Structure 1
Amino acid sequence: MSTTELTARQTVKKLSRAGLACVLTAFLLAGFFAVRNISSWRTRITYPGEESYEGCALAEIARLGQGVPIYAPPSDEGFAGATYGPLYYLIGSSLIHPERPSYTPLRLLSALAILGCAAGCGLLAFWITRSWLAALLGPLFFLSYGVVTFHGVSALSDSVSLLLFFAGFLVAYRFRNSRAILLAAPLMCLGFYYKPQYIAGPLAVMVFLFLEKSYARLAQFLGALALFGFGLLGFFQWIAFPGQQFWRHFFLYQATLFSWYQFKIGLLVFVLMFGVAILLAFEYLRTHPDRMLLCYLCCAVALGIATIGKQTAFIQYFFESILMVSVLVPALVIKRVERASYPVDVMLLMAIALFAGQWYTPPAPDSSAVGQCETVQTYFRRNFPPHARAIGLRGGDLIQSGFDTPFSDLLQTELLARRGVVPDGHLLNQIRAGWFSLIVLDFDLRTETDPIWLNYYLTPSAREAIKSSYQVINSLDVPDPEKLWKDDRFYIYVPRFKELKGN
């Protein structure tokens, strides 16, 4: 009999009736929310419209597939912020048709990555407990979080990047006492160039090696990261995107303005959604010390809190914290049960954590949302010629309607302009010249007075340019998954001039 089988049988024997009831309750709670969330995946993946600000990325990927240099500097011919990782754009452009772009292939890839992360939670839970019960409960706990479904299966870069970073950490954890820990570096570098966000893993490895006083191993790990990191940087700058400003987009355009309001809201969300689960995770590490996991958990929490103040941040910035609690909370439950105790306190707190994890999970798009999306695209196709130049907040709706989007979207361009990183003079000149066949906004500039919405993705100069050169001809219902607020509508602006060159 193998060691694994022996351990599993001993675990079952240790469980009393109360313990079995406790484990069953944990599986039922986590399983209920996980199944509830996963049951919406098919609808979310196949929905033809935009969710969670996917449109800008889809437009940039489609433009790359059409041969447009997305890392080119701003010009009168257009500009793309291209703030996601280059691997995301390259892989995405190989998955979608540039003339008929769809979110579905990218969402399927994200869903597979999320399942990979869930499997990683189960594997790590098994390594630290040697219990198949923890290995099965970990993935359910991870999939029970609403944000894992809402943002995890979106067409964005987060899920794949998270999987690559987490896979690298799993390699590092498995081989933490040998030179094989260096094998984690390539995976982590790939994750960085997919999206440079989830870096708690490499930071945790560095801190762990420093605390262990393995200075030579730390130097080797840093060297491996530098070797692969700079090697990939050279590949993207001079081979994949030659003659473009890749380095500038990737390193300079990544940072967005810090907002104290966003930070306070994000911190409140963190405390309410993840506070209880984080406390349970630290309780496991208090009773079962593991320095490397402690380093990862601390880095994940610190990075999530530090970055949630970015203006474009969202709850998925706490994905790494969710990974850790999905490993450590199930491990705590199983370890408490194995001690022949009935951990009422842990079970109650786990239930609270699972309920809190459902907060801000928008419902899956229904048939009415699909109809609204089709209505918008039908209107655009009937009233404007193919490849007409267009711009708005949601580039996906425009490029799926057959328009050209030389400027990827208003939010990125104007946000970078506010920071003084990228001038918006080229965009403003083209607006004043009536260069765009249509501009799509979420409000009527003639009547809107709320400064929050007026300044959300338009600078005063941009608003004035649109008001002076464009007029509203119609408004449409915004599909429910895309709404910024309850009464949100699309306002269609066209040039005031009767004859427009190049339109």
Structure 2
Amino acid sequence: MTPNAAAAGSRKSTLLGAAALGLPALFLLLHLWGLPAKLRYPGELNFVEGMPLAEMVHLRQGVPIYAPVSAERYDAANFGPFYYLVGSQLIDPAQPAYLPLRALSLAGTMAAALLAALMAYGLARSRPAAALAALLFLSYGFVIRHGASARSDMVALAIVFAGFAVAHRFRAGRAILWGVPLMVVGFYYKQQFVAGPVAVFIYLLVERRFRLAAQFAGLMTAGVLAGFALCQFVIFRGQAFVHHFVFYNVIPFEVVSLISGMGFFALILFVPLLVSLEYLKNYPDRLFLTYLISAFLLSLVTVARAGSDTYYFLECALICSILFSALLARRISEPGRAPELLTLLVVTLFVGQWFRTPAPSARDFQEDSALQAFLTSRFPRGTRTLSYHSGDVIRAGLALPFTNLYHYNQLIRNGVVDGQEMPGLITQRHFGLILLDFDLHNEPSDYYAEFYLTRAIRDSICTHYHQVETIDMPGPERIRDYAKLYVWVPNSESAADSSGPAPAP
């Protein structure tokens, strides 16, 4: 090759590298532009934020959130206990807010991106690969959507992935076991991310290192059992922690959820998966291959749970960002192949914006303020309330005996709870307020009506309560086409003292 040709090739590689880094950086800037508004928005950014916030408030108030489900109250507490223990120390129970929890989640997101950069650098020995891995991961719309919300996903992912990174770094010897403590801690922050431990165990079996595989499995099992014992007999002594963490968390699988999850995978992650497999074909890494396969298979299975969402694919996005970046870094100097990968990167970046959520608007802030003003002015502090919108209720100072109505309804369908207990409370006008986000009289879909509340509960509300008002629902909280909250109060205020403070736990 002549000096001129070499120089031209070098310039082309530099331009391709700049494009590869510049494109995801642009999309990340779009996300960052709306990030301040998301962090400081006082209402729920998604449907799940309010439930754990209410449970953290209860935990700070001394309520036994892992108590067995009863006719009087139910805190689902269906995420990992470490999430509640940490989060409850960050909030003010008198004025609960999402900002500290969102900041913690964002820190977990940044930690996961940093780990992705370190792993990509380790694979390709390339700083551009490291930068691209972090940028690509953060450019996904659904990553920032969950990463900026008050959820447990990103912190748990960062902790578990740190454990996998340790295991991968020391996979040649017994030091692979050093990743176990982090994996166990991550499991108790959120029990979703088990692909890493599964991958390490299978990898050791494939490598025929049976003794080490047994030691790894034994340490993981011992760690999980120790966590169970710590929570059941020490931290939440006298409560039903195991029931909440395991049995109450059993949600039925739905074909609709599976099809939706497979569609998301095909649209967002199919191309990155192919590129990742191409990397592993040319630069074999059995542990990473096992991790990639385990993560995708487990994601496709768990996303079939009723009520699931795109957070089940966060781990897949993280893995693919690393492998995609490593392959592009290795191919960037190959004129015939780098443009092809760059094209696939562009496709990945554009389709990755599909599930990006807009930042809350000024109107959203106004509607949230109006909702809080309505609740605080119309209902005395401590009024027992039944609602799916747990965060709105708890922020207004109202009592929320049932923090997660969806899970409570699943317990009824699973036969864990008597289906007549809640209708009985409603018949007694136990609640001073029932706040719904759908019209009981005109719900067009039997599927969604049953999804929200059982027939017996709906009939009891219609019989013993009446709707007094509808108010605008803040935009970020809206599901499907609903834009209103429906306010129901007891038919006879004298029938029960439902507007007074809830009984002490």
TM-score, normalised on structure 2?
A: 0.95
Letter in 1 for 2:464: S
Q: Is the 8 A contact 1:61 1:92 kept in 2?
A: yes
CA distance in 1, matches of 2:340, 2:270: 15
Letter in 1 for 2:232: Q
Question: Could you say what secondary structure the match of 1:52 adopts?
Answer: coil
CA distance in 2, matches of 1:166, 1:48: 31
Letter in 2 for 1:38: L
CA distance in 1, matches of 2:161, 2:109: 11
How far apart are 1:19 and its partner, in Å?
1.1
Range that drifts further, 18-27 or 375-384:
18-27
Please, which of 458, 462, 482 is the counterpart of residue 463 of structure 1? 458
Does residue 49 of structure 1 match 2:43? yes
Does residue 168 of structure 1 match 2:160? no
CA distance in 2, matches of 1:352, 1:368: 33
Partner of 1:25: 19
Partner of 2:286: 291
Please, which of 204, 209, 225 is the counterpart of residue 204 of structure 2? 209
1:264-283 paired onto structure 2 within 5 Å: 264-283=259-278
Letter in 2 for 1:286: K
1:452-491 paired onto structure 2 within 5 Å: 452-491=447-486
Letter in 2 for 1:226: T
How far apart are 1:247 and its partner, in Å?
0.3
How far apart are 1:79 and its partner, in Å?
1.0
What does the per-residue CA deviation read over 1:220-242, in whole Å, with 9 as the maximum and x for residues that have no partner?
A: 11111122111111000011101
Partner of 1:244: 239
How far apart are 1:489 and its partner, in Å?
0.7
Question: Could you say what secondary structure the match of 1:439 adopts?
Answer: strand
Partner of 1:123: 118
Does residue 438 of structure 1 match 2:428? no
CA distance in 2, matches of 1:107, 1:282: 34
Q: Is the 8 A contact 1:49 1:397 kept in 2?
A: yes
Does residue 153 of structure 1 match 2:148? yes
How far apart are 1:424 and its partner, in Å?
4.2
Question: Could you say what secondary structure the match of 1:355 adopts?
Answer: helix
Partner of 2:80: 85
CA distance in 2, matches of 1:15, 1:474: 69
Letter in 2 for 1:35: L
Partner of 2:390: 395
Partner of 1:6: none
What does the per-residue CA deviation read over 1:294-329, in whole Å, with 9 as the maximum and x for residues that have no partner?
A: 011111111111111111211110111101111011
CA distance in 1, matches of 2:8, 2:200: 35
CA distance in 2, matches of 1:440, 1:498: 17
How far apart are 1:495 and its partner, in Å?
0.4
Does residue 496 of structure 1 match 2:488? no
Please, which of 19, 29, 39 is the counterpart of residue 33 of structure 2? 39
Is the alpha carbon distance of 1:15 and 1:42 closer, same or farther for their aligned partners in structure 2, counting shifts above 3 Å?
A: farther
Letter in 2 for 1:357: G
Q: Is the 8 A contact 2:21 2:128 kept in 1?
A: no
Is the alpha carbon distance of 1:15 and 1:194 closer, same or farther for their aligned partners in structure 2, counting shifts above 3 Å?
A: farther
1:360-439 paired onto structure 2 within 5 Å: 360-439=355-434
Does residue 326 of structure 1 match 2:329? no
Unaligned ranges ≥5, structure 1: 1-11
Unaligned ranges ≥5, structure 2: 1-5, 499-505
Q: Is the 8 A contact 2:46 2:477 kept in 1?
A: yes
Please, which of 125, 137, 158 is the counterpart of residue 132 of structure 2? 137
How far apart are 1:293 and its partner, in Å?
0.6
Q: Is the 8 A contact 1:16 1:340 kept in 2?
A: no
How far apart are 1:194 and its partner, in Å?
0.9
RMSD: 1.6
Letter in 1 for 2:125: R
CA distance in 1, matches of 2:482, 2:383: 28
How many residues were matched structurally?
492
How far apart are 1:450 and its partner, in Å?
2.6
CA distance in 2, matches of 1:427, 1:98: 27
Q: Is the 8 A contact 1:134 1:330 kept in 2?
A: yes
How far apart are 1:67 and its partner, in Å?
0.7
CA distance in 1, matches of 2:18, 2:166: 31
Question: Could you say what secondary structure the match of 1:493 adopts?
Answer: strand
Please, which of 223, 238, 245 is the counterpart of residue 218 of structure 2? 223
